[in-house]
Amino acid sequence: MEFGTYFAYWEQEWRGDYFAYCRKVKNLGFDILEISAAGLLEMDIAEIDRMRKEAENLSLGLTAGIGFPADHDPSSADSETRRRGMDLMRRMVLRLEKAGITKVGGVIFASWPYDYQKPFDKPAVWARSVESMRKAADLAKDHGVVLMMEVVNRFEHFLVNSAEECVRFVKDIGKPNVKVMLDTFHMNIEEDHLGDAIRTAGPLLGHLHLGECNRKVPGQGHMPWDDIAKGLRDINYQAAAVMEPFVRMGGTVGQEIKVWRDLSKGADTERLDADIKEALRFVRGKFNH
């Protein structure tokens, strides 16, 4: 199993100097850097090439994540909104290929976070999303990209809240390059038993996010890491396990992730680095024995 981390642990906006983060996370001991696909769309081709070459030189893997904005929702009842969503998917996949990134996950099947002031019809949204994701999968396949449907909690979206739901969703899409993506933070809210949820996903599990119940780095909360590790061993999980902690207030990241207090306790960059390096030692010890 390879271990990674999301760049936004250190940032307050969904864009950072991904080139610099390549060496930073490699020096901390990680195998993978996860970046924002939205940020990738803002980069010029020269920047993307520079990042890709740096990652290759460091033998560092790259993955990406994104939540689609409401005006590009591929599950929308409005055909023009769905069209914009598919256009965003097309542009994103082309950039991912240019960056050498073969996996993108998140709420790419709908909008994120959902605005609950608006009514919704879950079966209708499900059907439209499945139709859009079938088209997206065919597009992504042509560029060597796997789409990972992230299970998120009920407060962020209503469509796919559990491993069981996501397995049904992925099977409805019915494309080999569409996989389940789980996140321990969301699982802690929605699943009865985290190990069972992982076993439910089984061979369809393509990506895993790691975070504590409070969104701190692994080891600074009360998540059942032994149970999670056993579930992963039971399904012989060999794909990436990427940390996605959020501990800083402020900016777009703090607002959208709902970090309303300083979970870092005033940590500077040196302290943040030390905490996530220790978290990596912690999860490697849990998952690799």
pLDDT at 14: 87
| Mean pLDDT, residues 252-258 | 93
Residues marked active site are found at 150, 244
- In this model, does residue 50 exceed pLDDT 80? yes
- In this model, does residue 289 exceed pLDDT 90? no
Query: 33: domain range?
Result: 2-287
Q: Tell me the pLDDT band of 288, cut-offs 50, 70 and 90.
A: confident
How many domains, the chain?
1
- In this model, does residue 74 exceed pLDDT 80? yes
Give the chain as a DSSP string. -EEEEEGGGS-SSS---HHHHHHHHHHTT-SEEEEEHHHHHHS-HHHHHHHHHHHHHTT-EEEEE--B-GGG-TT-SSHHHHHHHHHHHHHHHHHHHHHT--EEEES-SSBSS--TTS---HHHHHHHHHHHHHHHHHHHHTTT-EEEEE---TTT-SS--SHHHHHHHHHHHT-TTEEEEEEHHHHHHH-S-HHHHHHHHGGGEEEEEE--TTSS-TTSS---HHHHHHHHHHTT--SEEEE------SHHHHHHHT--S-TTSS--HHHHHHHHHHHHHHHHHHH--
pLDDT in tens, 188-246: 999 999 999 999 999 999 999 999 999 999 999 999 999 999 999 999 999 999 999 99
Give the CATH number of the domain where residue 177 resides. 3.20.20.150
- In this model, does residue 130 exceed pLDDT 80? yes
